[in-house]
Amino acid sequence: MSDLTYNLFDRKVQPPYLAPDYKSTVLRAPTKPLVVIKQSLSELTGPVFGEMHVGPLDHDLTKNARINGEPLGERIVVHGKVMDENGRPIPHTLIELWQANSAGRYVHKVDQHDAPLDPNFLGTGRVLTDADGKYKFYTIKPGAYPWGNHYNAWRPNHIHFSLFGPNISTRLVTQMYFPGDPLLQYDPLFLAVPPKGRDLLVSQFDLSITEPSFALGYRFDFVLRGTHSTPFENR
């Protein structure tokens, strides 16, 4: 069984399917017991993600979409470790990242926020964890943005992550927030997570990984199972 299994989770940490204040869950939350579909051979054996799926600049969002200059905004380094409930590293895990730019705008046709796009910032990246389960991204700190869930609703600064095990059926999705963000106390997504799990979604400022005169550092670890598992959107 893959290390990216998530049937062992703490209900006091993981978010519910239905969170009425987060309006879209009212329409998409299941109303009947879930049906477990037996996995076929193709789901159990592939695709297998390896070094050939990661380009040399995929981990560096400050460089991987440059056209005519540097991307705008505050440069940051995000690093951490993927591990199981006992702190053992999970090596060779494919991590994907996507986010808004420094003005709070995604490079996506559905995003109609009246904020500028950055021609030198795409907002996506990926990396494989090393033999010790460690990863590192360079990126731009994302901006807050309005999202229409309720009157004067704004999403806090956040980065989306997905993690893959040995095949596509073991994908886990979550979000990382920043310490001290005043919008966290108003965000229905963040507040949908039980109080015990909220701190597990907030990164920690890390001076040790901060690069002088270049970028501030943040640490964000992923714990895949157990009572301190990272809250995931699709457990």
The token pair at 25 is 């869950």
d(CA 21, CA 12): 18
d(CA 227, CA 12): 8
Delimit the domains of the chain by residue range: 57-163+171-220
Residue 9 banded pLDDT, cuts 50, 70, 90: low
Question: How confident is the model at residue 3, as a pLDDT?
Answer: 47
Q: Strand pairing of 94-98 and 145-146?
A: unpaired
Q: Which of 59, 79, 105, 155 is catalytic?
A: 155
Residue 205 banded pLDDT, cuts 50, 70, 90: very high
Of 141, 8, 145, 23, nearest to 84 (Cα)?
Answer: 8
Q: Is there a catalytic annotation at residue 135?
A: no
Number of helices and strands (H, E) in the chain? 4, 11
- Listed in sequence order, the residues at least 6 apart from 218 whose beta carbon sits closer than 8 Å to its beta carbon are 76, 77, 78, 79, 178, 203, 204, 205, 206, 209
Architecture of domain 57-163+171-220: Sandwich (2.60)
Q: Which of 145, 218, 225, 235 is catalytic?
A: 145
Region 199-209 average pLDDT? 98
Task: Return phi, psi of residue 191, to 5°.
Answer: -75, -15
Of 119, 122, 115, 195, nearest to 155 (Cα)?
Answer: 115
Q: Is there a catalytic annotation at residue 22?
A: no
d(CA 175, CA 228): 16
Q: Is there a catalytic annotation at residue 186?
A: no
Q: Is there a catalytic annotation at residue 160?
A: yes
Mean residue pLDDT of the chain comes to 91
Does the pLDDT at position 235 exceed 70?
no
Residue length, the chain? 235
Q: Which of 79, 105, 106, 135 is catalytic?
A: 106
Question: How confident is the model at residue 72, as a pLDDT?
Answer: 98
Q: Is there a catalytic annotation at residue 145?
A: yes
Does the pLDDT at position 118 exceed 50?
yes
Of 3, 69, 15, nearest to 235 (Cα)?
Answer: 15
pLDDT of 133-175, one tens digit each?
Answer: 999 999 999 999 999 999 999 999 999 999 987 666 778 999 9
* The model's pTM: 0.91
Q: Which of 79, 105, 126, 160 is catalytic?
A: 160
